[in-house]
């Protein structure tokens, strides 16, 4: 395996795993609130 291939593999791994960690941190800081969904219309 060449050094360029190893560098590209490391960059790809950091991108994928870094995105996963960033997503988990974002969800931990700002959890979804279920009350934000609008109520369905009421038929009379």
pLDDT at 19: 96
| pLDDT score, position 36 | 67
SS3 state of residue 12 = helix
Neighbours of 35 (CB within 10 A): 4
Q: How far apart are CA 4 and CA 27, in angstroms?
A: 35
21-44 confidence digits (pLDDT tens):
999 999 999 987 777 677 788 887
3-state SS, residue 33: coil
């Amino acid at each position: 395996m060449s050094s360029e291939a190893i560098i590209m593999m490391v960059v790809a791994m950091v991108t994928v795993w870094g995105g996963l960690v960033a997503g988990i941190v974002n969800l931990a800081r700002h959890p979804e609130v279920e009350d934000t969904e609008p109520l369905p219309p009421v038929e009379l």
